[in-house]
Amino acid sequence: GAVVSQHPSWVICKSGTSVKIECRSLDFQATTMFWYRQFPKQSLMLMATSNEGSKATYEQGVEKDKFLINHASLTLSTLTVTSAHPEDSSFYICSVTKQGSYGYTFGSGTRLTVV
Amino acid sequence: AQSVTQLGSHVSVSEGALVLLRCNYSSSVPPYLFWYVQYPNQGLQLLLKYTSAATLVKGINGFEAEFKKSETSFHLTKPSAHMSDAAEYFCAVSGRVQGGSEKLVFGKGTKLTVNP
């Protein structure tokens, strides 16, 4: 199966700074990547869907200017949390799939703590 | 549009007992259905998936699920629970589109506790 690397696993940042999270598909070309947010003891909430070379499609209620998503290549997508605030503290998970595939592979997640 | 309902946010079983985690789905198109397991502070691991082949799907770690269209259900079972099965389980659905699948929609999750 596909292998997805998400980095960093955890990060602590100061309020007002920006944090970048990387999601890499190591062994296949991911035409589509998804970014999820998960609050403690809750399910995954889809934030956005990104296709290589095009702008991400954000879910309703997700601030596109705050959560910048770049999908520059078929193997890399990044999520940048800009001007982070404590309420942005959460667990962020990426997922990848490719056209013609009927499966999704998830990264190991990033625990973001904003202090 | 797709949606998933997981019945029971918490399920507790004894070690060696049957595990049954319930999932009902709603989909406007033929669905793909998935079960994932999540351990604390980790990503999601695929247990099994239904993609229109056999309705009884066998997955990893002894888990299986049966797709029942008439009941719009995809319940997850394991004959004998092990302590290592304690985790959060998510049922998810996506719709089939030409050339692939849409985004996954997750249920709220079921926390499985296994008692010694």
How confident is the model over A25-76, as pLDDT tens digits?
A: 888 787 789 999 998 888 899 999 888 777 888 999 999 999 999 887 888 9
Question: Are the beta carbons of B108 and A42 separated by less than 8 Å?
Answer: yes
- pLDDT for res B52: 78
pLDDT bucket at A95, cuts 50 / 70 / 90: very high
Question: What does the block give as tokens for A94?
Answer: 């990426």
Q: Is A113 on the interface with B (CB under 8 A)?
A: no
How sure is the predictor about B4, in pLDDT bands with cuts at 50, 70 and 90? Answer: very high
How many angstroms separate the CA of residue B108 from the nearest CA in chain A?
A: 5
CA distance linking residue B75 with residue B65, whole number of Å? 5
Instruction: Show the tokens assigned to B80.
Output: 């004998």
Q: What is the pLDDT of residue B94?
A: 86
Residue B79: cis peptide before it, omega within 30 degrees of 0 = no
Q: Are the beta carbons of B103 and A34 separated by less than 8 Å?
A: yes
A46 in B contact zone (CB under 8 Å):
yes
Structure confidence at residue B51 (pLDDT): 85
| Per-residue pLDDT, A31 | 79
Greater confidence (B103 vs A66) lies with: A66
SS (H, E, C) B71-98: CCEEEEEECCCCHHHCEEEEEEEEEEEC
Name the band, by pLDDT with cuts 50, 70 and 90, for residue B40: confident
Q: Is residue B64 scored above 90 in pLDDT?
A: yes
pLDDT at A47: 94
Nearest CB partner across the interface for B109, out of A4, A43, A111: A43
Q: Is A44 on the interface with B (CB under 8 A)?
A: yes
